[in-house]
Amino acid sequence: MSKSFIEQVHYIRIPVKDLELSAQWYRDVLGLQLLNITKELAILKVNEGPFLLILVPTEDETFAHFTIDNEQEFSIGFTSPELSKFHQHLIDNQVKVEDIKEDNGHAFFHFYDPNGNKLQVHW
């Protein structure tokens, strides 16, 4: 196939325990724009692009990450040109963060939202 029928990734759904608390955290701590919140979901916009994060409440023990050999692996990765400042910002906001690491010319770290979803940011 020479051309894909798929144009872009439009949104990712993330399971959360407390929808309102989670929407506030993604807005206030990560700085995402909260577009809409209902009983069923919260829609957040990532900067000016078309990409959306949709928070979906669930009581199930489920996460937006997976495991390999019983080690948690992230599914969602963000970019930030101010990686060190962002890392400190998360620490200042009592977010569970891992150390900044370097790999083949770029730096990254992992952090967790209030629901235990493992996320990554890199530059």
SS (H, E, C) 29-91: CCCCEEEEECCCCEEEECCCCCCEEEEEECCCCCCCEEEECCEEEECEEEECCCHHHHHHHHH
Amino acid 120: pLDDT: 98
What is the predicted pLDDT for the residue at 2? 86
Predicted TM-score (pTM) of the model is 0.92
In the chain, where the domains are located: 8-58, 66-123
* Residue closest to 95 by CA, chosen among 30, 14, 20: 30
Domain 66-123: CATH superfamily is 2,3-Dihydroxybiphenyl 1,2-Dioxygenase, domain 1 (3.10.180.10)
Query: Tens digit of pLDDT for each residue in 29-77?
Result: 999 999 999 999 999 999 888 899 999 999 999 999 999 999 999 999 9
Torsion angle of the four alpha carbons 101, 77, 7, 40, in this order, in degrees rounded to the nearest 10: 180
